[in-house]
Amino acid sequence: MYLPRAFADHDLSRLHQVIHDGRLATLVTCGAQGLQASHLPLLLEAGQGANGTLYGHLAKANPQCAELAAGAEALVIFEGGDAYVSPSFYPSKAEHGKVVPTWNYVAVHAYGQAEVFHDPQRLLKLVGALTERHEAGRQQPWKVEDAPADYIDGMLKAIVGFALPIQRLEGKRKLSQNRDARDMAGVREGLATSTDLRDQQLSHLMR
């Protein structure tokens, strides 16, 4: 990831928060079949390893399983919000007009080599943890135990789990830090008054 100094984020706890808050990650590998990508929810165990460890699972038929098992380096991309920045947000536009559109965003890239596993009990634990996380807050949370045991056993046979210790972690917070204070304030205010909730959320991050 291109990381100008003004936008680089090295705060591990903040990078972990972006990972934790992410609903769907993008897993990218490059192997014998070229570049491949899958979109999937992941769990972060922040205390495992220097940068944490990611856990997830793929369909057994997914060719990325073979790439991970062969030791291919994986890139996992987490998005933490984004918004279009209009030149009209900048007070400096009225002074000299030397402004152009851009995009503000937060992103985290995690790199590592995964260990794949097929053990049913380990897979069941992973699926249960993913379910609990995403069912949390629902009035009547669904649990893995709600489905027939033989059905769950069959589903577990169709997936492959993986643990990916994060060997390298990169974070980028492109939030108008390269502009002066007045222009930054203009972007915050412009996004805050948008009718798009995503713009409002990024304005909050800029504060």
Is the separation of the CB atoms in 44 and 163 below 8 Å?
no
Which tokens hold the place of 201? 């959320």
Q: In what order do the strands lie in the sheet with 8-9?
A: 8-9, 168-174, 102-113, 73-85, 25-31, 34-40
The mean pLDDT of the chain is 96
For residues 2 and 27, give the distance between their C-alpha atoms in angstroms, rounded to a whole number.
18
Task: Please write the tens of the pLDDT for every residue from 4-41.
Answer: 999 999 999 999 999 999 999 999 999 888 999 999 99
Residue with tokens 């492959």: 160
- Tokens encoding 185: 């304030």
Q: What is the pLDDT of residues 46-88, one digit of tens each?
A: 999 999 999 999 999 999 999 999 999 999 999 999 999 999 9
Q: What is the pTM of this model?
A: 0.93
One-character DSSP codes across 111-152 = EEE-EEE--HHHHHHHHHHHHHHHHTT-SS---GGGS-HHHH
